[in-house]
Structure formats: structure tokens, C-alpha cells
Amino acid sequence: MPPSVTGLRRDGAELVVSGQADPGGRVVLRTPAGRAYAAVADTGGIFEVRLTAVDGLVLTPEAQLGQETVPAPGRLMILDAAQGAAVLLSPGGSSRRLGEGPALSSVDHDGRAVILSGQAAPGSNVRVEVPGRGPIQVQADASGQWRLGMDGSPPSEVRVDGQTFAVPGMSVADTDAPAPIITRVEREDGFLLKWQAPDGAPQASWLPRR
């Protein structure tokens, strides 16, 4: 099975990417240019890959067996190497922040639907408000992640448990970079990413700052 990245931490000058894979399996994090960082999962399937990284570095997690590789469907992008912050981008799904993030972690849009997601106390109820809709209550899962999907374009504003986030324009019409490329624009209010899923579907993700 492809590896699943679940954590990121800074250890001195290095970043340590951790997760779950087949016990004893070799895990590779590969850049679009082909550079690879690798580690072997322990008997419990836990792996830790150490690397030096810069802001904006994109990595594809892969399981490797001999010359065969099984890539994970998503991509890992380093947002802030100094702080040990990154995001996992999932085609057609919600982005997942690694490291500390705000109550609203991401707004993901594919031109047809929007997914709002964030972090809260595990099992807690979260109040989400968007213009034109009444308050919506969602529950965080056991890992503290919550998500809310809706049709149409991203709202101009999202309020999560009383905290307001102004959402920038997120058109996917100009997302024409090749599939491995992720366009990253660092803004005062967060990061705006535009990219393509492996099937060519355009994607846009906004990752608010705290």
C-alpha cells in the first residue's frame, strides 16, 4: 500500500516526516526533479524520513519494492520549513495541515464544490457560519480534524467558533500548470495554491495563517 504521512516535526536543521506504511517497507519522498529521501518502516509500520527542505518544496510519498513504486495519490508541500509546517494536498478532497494551524485550516475548491476543514479538540462540536447559510455544526473526529463540503464557489467569508476568515478569490480557470507543479503564492493572510490532480482536474487551496 502507499505510505500515509501523518506528522511533521523539526529536529535541528532537519525536518522529520513520519507516518504509516507496510511493516519493513521502504518509503520514499520524491521531488518533481527526481531527488529522493528514503527510510524503512519498522515492524509496526511506522516510518520517519529525515530531509533538509526549503519553503515550497513538493514531495510525492511512495512505497518502493525493488524497482516498483506505489505513489500515494496526494502531494506533500512544505509551507514553512523553519516552523515545521506543511500541507498534504488530496485530489478532490480536503487538504490536511501538518503542524499547528488555525481553526480553519483549509478551503479547497475544484470548480464545482468546496470543502472547508480545520482543527479542534477531538470529538468537539464546531460551529461554522458562511454568508447565506445558517450556522452549521460539525464534529471533529478522534484526531481533531473536521470537514464540511458544499456545492458551488468558495464563500467570501467563513466564521469558525466566532473567528472570522476572509476568503480570497479562488478561481480555477487559470490553473494550467502541469500536474506535478503546484503554484504557491504567499499572502499576508495565508497561502494560495493552484495545481492539477493527476487526471488533469484543476484544484485551488487556500491555507489561512493563524
d(CA 126, CA 40): 38
203 and 118 in one domain? yes
CA–CA dist 49, 78 (Å, integer): 14
CATH number of the domain where residue 30 is located? 2.60.40
Residues 121 and 70 in one domain: no
Q: What pLDDT sits at residue 149?
A: 94
Out of 62, 89, 116, a domain closes at 89
Does residue 46 fall inside a structural domain?
A: yes
At 27 the pLDDT is: 96
pLDDT > 90 fraction of the chain, expressed in percent and rounded: 55
Burial environment of residue 14 by CB neighbours within 10 A (0 to 12, 13 to 18, 19 or more): middle
| Residue 176's pLDDT band (cuts 50, 70, 90) | low
Q: How far is CA 84 from CA 13, 37, 90, 162, in A?
A: 11, 17, 20, 27
CA-atom Rg of the chain in angstroms: 17
The pLDDT of residue 177 is 56
Q: Which amino acid appears at position 101 of this protein?
A: G
